[in-house]
A = this chain, B = another copy of it.
Amino acid sequence: MKLKRMGNQTVVFSNPSVILSSYSVVGPMEGQGPLSKTFNAVWKDTINGNSSWEVAESKMLEEAMEGAINQARIAKDEIDYLLAGDLLNQIISANYAARTMGLPFIGLYGACSTMALSMSVGTMLIDGGFARQVLVGVSSHHDTAERQYRMPTEQGGQRAMSAQWTVTGAGSLVLGESGEGPRITAATIGRIVDFGEKDANNMGAAMAPAVADTILNHLHDMNRTPDDYDLIISGDLGSVGLSLSQEVLKKNGLTFNNFSDCGVLIYDKKQDVHAGASGCGCSAVVFAGHILDKIKSGEYKRVLLVGSGALHSPTSSLQGESIPGIGHAVVIEG
């Protein structure tokens, strides 16, 4: 078989997957932000009548998955694999959602890069002839993440200005071997890049070099320039990380204006989230709504989505380790 690789890190699909449908569910704060109208459902509060925030997050992910399946107008048993992940220990949001879905399940962990990672691997499974349709879905939840990664939520402590606000949101897509819709045409799986950042309240700084590395390698592998894309958008660098990533790219001779970040777009400045948004759900819900809408309308013909992940844990931080960053990129074309 002909190898579908370009350069060191990129694969170009012979049979790109088609994004048959998308569905996003968010919490109240995201629903009050500038992208409000692009989400499929907005919860009135972050628990939505469930017994815990953790159960709520899993149910939110289920709702996004069920929504995506309904929008695709296919039966559940036409889906061959579910690819999912989230930020919680042992990815329990994904695991419990997968229990409900009852589909063959591949659990992924790429921290906040999991949406782009699942879109990459999902398309490989379709292009490789292993699946007709793949369901991908990820979630994050402000309250579950806050108490797992940082302080007891009841404490209400002061947040650092470099800190990002974890999105309460779940996004899901149905990818298919054929049909109508935008297509995922290439993917660049990232390597870990770690410049030694140890501040878990500055994950943007930890992820910025990895995102820059993936963008540089992607463009090199594809022999393209940023002008070949209408938009290059990172997952959740936030304002601090986005400017650091731009600085790294500039040092490598690359400056461009069409570089944005889902974590910068989802909240309004007056919502006081400091450096922007983060969480698996961030790029998932911004992509599933705002970005896909603009691809479908023809405003964007080709987009590079670079999911960004900070692959540390509270334990590794307490043990004095730096935060390994990663960026996974997918090309989506209208």
Listed in ascending order, the chain A residues whose CB lies under 8 Å from chain B are 1-5, 8-9, 11, 14-15, 51-52, 54-55, 77, 80-81, 85, 87-92, 95-96, 98-99, 102-111, 117, 121, 124-125, 127-132, 148, 189-192, 194, 311-316, 319, 321, 324, 326
Contact of A88 among B99, B190, B192, B313 (CB under 8 A): B313
The answer on a CB contact under 8 Å between A99 and B51 is no
The answer on a CB contact under 8 Å between A85 and B106 is no
The answer on a CB contact under 8 Å between B92 and A5 is no
The answer on a CB contact under 8 Å between A324 and B99 is yes
The answer on a CB contact under 8 Å between A319 and B54 is yes
The answer on a CB contact under 8 Å between A90 and B109 is yes
A148 to B96, CA, bound (A): 20
The answer on a CB contact under 8 Å between B111 and A110 is no
The answer on a CB contact under 8 Å between B9 and A104 is yes
The answer on a CB contact under 8 Å between B99 and A85 is no
The answer on a CB contact under 8 Å between A189 and B106 is yes
User: Which 3 residue pairs are nearest across A and B when measured between Cβ atoms?
Assistant: A128-B128, A95-B311, A90-B313
Given known A11-B130, A132-B3, contact A89–B313 (CB-CB < 8 A): yes
Contact of A98 among B15, B95, B192 (CB under 8 A): B192
- The oligomer's copy count stands at 2
In the bound complex, residues from chain B placing their C-beta under 8 Å from that of A2 are: 129
Residue of B nearest to A87 (CB): B90
A-B contact pairs, 16 of them (CB 8 A): A2-B129, A5-B80, A5-B131, A8-B77, A52-B319, A87-B90, A89-B89, A89-B313, A90-B311, A90-B313, A91-B311, A96-B324, A104-B189, A106-B108, A108-B108, A124-B124
Say how far A217's CB is from chain B's closest CB, in angstroms. Answer: 9
A127 to B131, CA, bound (A): 13
The answer on a CB contact under 8 Å between B92 and A90 is no
In the bound complex, residues from chain B placing their C-beta under 8 Å from that of A189 are: 81, 104-106
The answer on a CB contact under 8 Å between A104 and B5 is no
Given known A5-B130, A90-B111, A127-B128, contact A315–B102 (CB-CB < 8 A): no
A87 to B111, CA, bound (A): 15
Residue of B nearest to A51 (CB): B319
In the bound complex, residues from chain B placing their C-beta under 8 Å from that of A111 are: 90
In the bound complex, residues from chain B placing their C-beta under 8 Å from that of A311 are: 90-92, 95, 98, 107
Say how far A168's CB is from chain B's closest CB, in angstroms. Answer: 17
